[in-house]
């Protein structure tokens, strides 16, 4: 209750307080900080994907700037010895302004990534963008095999979408979904979302497609392990994924020691506020935990 109150009051809190609370979720504001975090995680046996924070730009110039930042990031990542894997949000590329412009920017990024040996995953945002995002993925995937996108288990449509994509070259991250969607198009009940999540992972694995199992939910991690075992899936056909800062490191380390691949999503950049607010709303306990540690000395 107290923690929920903290999160509700966040818009009124000074930015430095929000920053302090959300620090654990962000790898810093610039590329070197993100690279350093990835390097450390890679040394611990984790795979990584880097994401420049930012979404829903309001002008074409902002979209172009975001595209340029991604092109620079590809240069940096390809020169470094960190995992060559990047995630991006279509509305940061201007999808909310113009499909054609966003497609042009995303295609340029994917082309450069292809030349540099970098994998690109197109994140999935709220439902006005689902069709457009999947259409972009379909248009690009044949030419660029190092490309993937995301399906959200809370959406009623997702099994149909997965069935279309899950040919042997499909590459999808499956997550529960983070945006507020209406009951007309999305499951609201946590168990229904879980049930659908497992159906989607099963479909991907049965079709021989590559699946990123992106969840911190121990039930879903256990069920996915059970499926992998039941279907006798080799370890190069899937990976587990988690967000930087979510406190399940021990579980993830255990997965690695069992021979599973685990990727950490590493966001960075100056646009940390919206991202941090979403993470804190997901788990208000983190706010209380961080504040308590400020005042209570163990
Ligand atoms: C790698 C990755 C990429 C993602 N990409 C997308 C995307 O492209 N589009 C999209 O809509 N969503 C995306 N998400 C978010 C996802 O949809 C869920 O909202 C989020 O993962 C929470 O769901 P959960 O499966 O972890 O289960 P939950 O039931 O929410 O969480 C399970 C457990 O983890 C704990 N936990 C969850 N979140 C946090 C947190 N922030 N801090 C501390 N503990 C926490 C919970 O308290 C709970 O104990 C992504 C998630 C991951 C892991």
On the question of pLDDT at 214 being above 80, the answer is yes
CA angle 188, 189, 190 (to 5 degrees): 115
- Kindly give the distance from the C-alpha atom of residue 243 to the centroid of ligand 1, in angstroms, as a whole number: 7
pLDDT in tens, 281-296: 766 666 665 555 444 4
- Helices 15-22 and 272-282 pack at an angle, to 10 degrees, of 60
pLDDT tens digits, one per residue of 126-164: 999 999 999 999 999 999 999 999 999 999 999 999 999
Residue 104 resides in a domain:
yes
| Residues with Cβ within 8 Å of residue 14, at least 6 apart in sequence | none
Question: Is residue 194 situated within a structural domain?
Answer: yes
90: in domain: yes
- Answer whether residue 285 is part of any domain: no
Report yes or no: 122 and 150 within 8 Å, Cβ to Cβ. Answer: yes
Q: In whole numbers, what is the pLDDT of the chain averaged over residues?
A: 90
State the total domains in the chain.
Answer: 1
Closest atom of ligand 1 to 217 CA is: 32
Bridge partners, residue 239, by sequence = 212
- Give the Å distance between the CA of 246 and the centre of ligand 1: 8
Each residue of 158-176: pLDDT tens digit?
999 999 999 877 999 999 9
123 falls within a domain = yes
With respect to residue 1, please indicate whether it lies within any of the assigned structural domains.
no
Segment 51-59 shows an average pLDDT of: 89
- Tell me if 216 CB under 6 Å of ligand 1: yes
| Domain encompassing residue 263 | 27-268
Q: Percent of the chain beyond pLDDT 90? A: 77
Measured distance CA(249)–CA(75) in Å, rounded: 30
For residue 221, how far is its CA from the centre of ligand 1 (angstroms)? 12
Q: How confident is the model at residue 70 (pLDDT cuts 50, 70, 90)?
A: very high
pLDDT at 241 over 60: yes
Looking at residue 86, which CATH number applies to its domain?
A: 3.20.20.220
Is residue 198 in a domain?
Answer: yes
Question: What is the model's pLDDT at position 54?
Answer: 84
Is 226 annotated as catalytic? no
b/e per residue 257-284 (b: at least 16 CB within 10 A): eeebbbbbbbbbbebbeebbeebbeeeb
Structure pTM? 0.92
Please give the torsion angle defined by the CA atoms of residues 128, 129, 132 and 138, in that order, rounded to the nearest 10 degrees: -130
| 39: CB partners within 8 A, 6+ apart | 80, 81, 82
Residue 184: CB atoms within 10 Å:
7
Ligand 1 mutation target, pool 178, 189, 219, 287, most atoms within 8 A of CB? 178
C-alpha 217 – ligand 1 centre gap (Å): 8
Is 217 known to be catalytic? no
What is the distance between the alpha carbons of residues 243 and 6, in angstroms, rounded to a whole number? 22
Annotated active-site residue in 51, 123, 161, 194? 123
* Residue 164 in domain: yes
């Amino acid at each position: 209750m107290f923690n929920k109150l903290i999160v509700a009051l966040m818009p009124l809190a000074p930015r430095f307080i929000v920053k302090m609370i959300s620090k654990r979720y962000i790898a810093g504001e610039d590329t070197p900080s993100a690279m350093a975090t990835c390097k450390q995680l890679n040394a611990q046996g984790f795979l990584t994907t880097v994401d420049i924070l930012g979404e829903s730009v309001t002008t074409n110039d902002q979209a172009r700037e975001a595209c340029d930042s991604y092109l620079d990031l590809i240069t940096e990542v390809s020169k470094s010895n960190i995992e060559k894997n990047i995630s991006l949000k279509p509305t940061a590329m201007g999808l909310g302004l113009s499909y054609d412009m966003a497609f042009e920017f995303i295609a340029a990024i994917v082309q450069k990534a292809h030349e540099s040996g970098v994998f690109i995953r197109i994140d999935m945002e709220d439902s006005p963008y689902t069709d457009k995002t999947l259409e972009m993925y379909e248009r690009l995937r044949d030419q660029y095999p190092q490309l993937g996108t995301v399906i959200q288990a809370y959406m009623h449509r997702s099994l149909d979408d997965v069935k279309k994509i899950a040919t042997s070259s499909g590459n999808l991250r499956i997550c529960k979904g983070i945006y507020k969607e209406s009951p007309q198009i999305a499951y609201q009940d946590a168990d229904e979302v879980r049930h659908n999540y497992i159906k989607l992972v099963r479909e991907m694995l049965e079709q021989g497609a590559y699946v990123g199992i992106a969840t911190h939910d121990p039930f879903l991690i256990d069920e996915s392990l059970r499926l992998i075992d039941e279907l006798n899936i080799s370890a190069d056909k899937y990976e587990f994924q988690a967000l930087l800062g979510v406190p399940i490191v021990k579980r993830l380390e255990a997965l690695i020691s069992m021979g599973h691949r685990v990727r950490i999503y590493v966001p960075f950049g100056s646009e940390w506020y919206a991202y941090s607010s979403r993470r804190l709303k997901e788990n208000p306990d983190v706010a209380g935990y961080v504040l308590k540690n400020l005042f209570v000395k163990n």
